[in-house]
Amino acid sequence: MMFEILAEGFVSERQANTPTAVAAMPRCVPGADGDLICTYVVQSALTVNDFVPMVSRSKDLGRTWEERGPIWPQLKNSYSIVCSVSRAPSGELILFGSQSPIDHPGETCWSDATQGIKQNELIWSKSIDGGRSWLDPRVISMPTVGSAEVPGPMCVTRGGRWLGPYAPYHTFDSHLVVDRNQVVVVISSDQGKTWAHTSMLRFDDAQSGGAEAWVIELADGRLLGASWHLNHQDGSDYPNAYGISLDGGMTWQPTRSTGILGQSTALTALPDGRALFVYNQRKHGDIGVWLALVNPTESDFGIEANEILWRAETATQEGSSADHFSWKDFAFGEPSVALLPDGTLLMVFWSIQPSGRGIRYIRFNVRGMSL
What are the tens digits of pLDDT across the range 314-356? 988 888 777 777 788 888 999 999 999 999 999 999 999 999 9
Reported for 109-115, long-range contacts at CB under 8 A and 24+ positions apart, including other chains, are 109/47, 109/48, 109/49, 109/51, 109/80, 110/47, 110/328, 111/170, 111/171, 111/172, 113/174, 114/170, 114/171, 114/172, 114/173, 114/174, 115/170, 115/232, 115/325
- pLDDT band at residue 56 using 50, 70 and 90 as cut-offs: very high
Question: 65 or 326: whose pLDDT is higher?
Answer: 65
Could you tell me what percent of the chain has a pLDDT over 70?
98
Q: What is the mean pLDDT of residues 191-214?
A: 94
The pLDDT of residue 1 is: 67
Q: Say which DSSP state 73 is in.
A: G
Cα 134–Cα 138–Cα 140 angle in degrees, nearest 5: 145
Longest dimension (CA), the chain: 55
Through-space distance between the first and last CA atoms of the chain, rounded to whole angstroms: 18
Question: 13 or 346: whose pLDDT is higher?
Answer: 346
The answer on pLDDT for 19 being more than 70 is: no
The answer on pLDDT for 205 being more than 90 is: no
